Amino acid sequence: MKRFYFFGFTILVLFDTIVQLSFKYAGNHAFPPEANWAWIVRVFGHPWIYFAVVGYVGNFFTWMTLLKHAPIGPAFAVTHLEVVSVMLFSAWLFQEPLTWPRVLGATTIVAGIICLAFAESGAHPEHDAPTEAKGALGVAAGD
């Protein structure tokens, strides 16, 4: 069962990471962003946005499978840990700098998410999802 959780949550974070990386690629291809139809056409004119959609669907089914067994608190925390994986992949793929404010900010945010996860475990019965079980875009959406 431990192995089930480990792989399940790893897959979930991977899907979340793929979604965010694809959004970034889609946005870059459609650059500059404009409030018009032409920009939307550019966004959907490149394959990246569809990778995001596939990642999102995969994410949804993984999440639903995990929630059948996993308590909501830890599950909630793991879905937001993508901030760390996305940061590492961004450093690698987009050569984004791992600055101190980012590393400290990410550490503080993760500490906060862990608190919220424990709070969630205590405050709800297992079958009762919290208001923000899953962000719209895997973020907080966000994420």
Partner 1 sequence: MSPLVVTLWLLNVTLDTVGQLAFKAAAGDPRAGDGLARWKYMAARPWIWIGIVSYVAEFLVWIAFLSLVDLSEGVLLGSINIVVIMIAGRILFREKLTPLRVTGILLVTAGVAMVGIAGGG
Which residue stretch of 5-13, 57-65, 85-93 sits at the interface with partner 1 (rule: CB under 8 A)? 85-93
Task: Give the span between the Cα atoms of 141 and 70, in whole angstroms.
Answer: 22
| Binding-site member from 12, 13, 18, 21 for partner 1 (CB under 8 A) | 21
85 close to 13: Cβ distance less than 8 angstroms: yes
Which residues, 95 to 124, sit near partner 1 by CB under 8 A? 96-102, 104-116, 118-119, 122-123
19 close to 13: Cβ distance less than 8 angstroms: no
Closer to partner 1 by CB, 11 or 46: give it: 46
**Dihedral over alpha carbons 111, 1, 18, 67 (to 10 degrees):** -80
Tell the burial category of 68 from Cβ atoms under 10 Å away from its Cβ (0-12, 13-18, 19+): exposed
- Using CB under 8 A as the criterion, what x/- string covers residues 41-80 for binding partner 1? --x-----x------------------------------x
Closer to partner 1 by CB, 8 or 138: give it: 138
- Quick one: which of 10, 18, 3 has its CA closest to 86? 18
Q: Which residues sit at the interface with partner 1, rule CB under 8 A?
A: 20-21, 23-24, 26-28, 30-33, 39-40, 43, 49, 80, 82-83, 86-87, 90-91, 94, 96-102, 104-116, 118-119, 122-123, 130-132, 135-137, 139-143
